[in-house]
Amino acid sequence: MEFKCIKSTGKRKVTWTGQIKKVRGVKENCEMEVNAKGSYFHVIFGSHSYGNYVCIPNWNVGCELADYSDIFWNTERLSGVISYENAITIATAVKEAGQILNG
């Protein structure tokens, strides 16, 4: 499944396409493969007693998430541990996968 990422800097918008492959699991515990801009991410995300989380083991990254649909907040959290563009990619992929799992 393809998805569109958007980075806004003032009046300028930069867009790129990402791909989600092999979504497995349920909303509370999901795993997927994400590709975008030449990078590969093995993404595991879900919920725990106090909220939501995301882990990207092949990047040695993990952090808390807000609701899966909150691209802004999730991007801000992720951008503390990976580049801003990669954070947008992961936050957008989580939102898209969350919608599939709800559906």
- Tens-digit pLDDT profile for residues 12-58: 999 999 999 988 877 778 999 999 999 999 999 999 999 999 999 99
What are the boundaries of each domain within the chain?
2-102
Go through 1-19 and write b for each residue having 16 or more CB atoms within 10 A of its CB, e for each that does not. eebebeeeeeeeeeeeebe
Average pLDDT over residues 68-82: 96
pTM above 0.85, yes or no: yes
Q: DSSP letters along 36-96, please?
A: ETTEEEEEEEEEETTEEEEEEGGGTEEEEES-TT-HHHHHHHHTTTS-HHHHHHHHHHHHH
pLDDT tens digits for range 84-93: 999 999 999 9
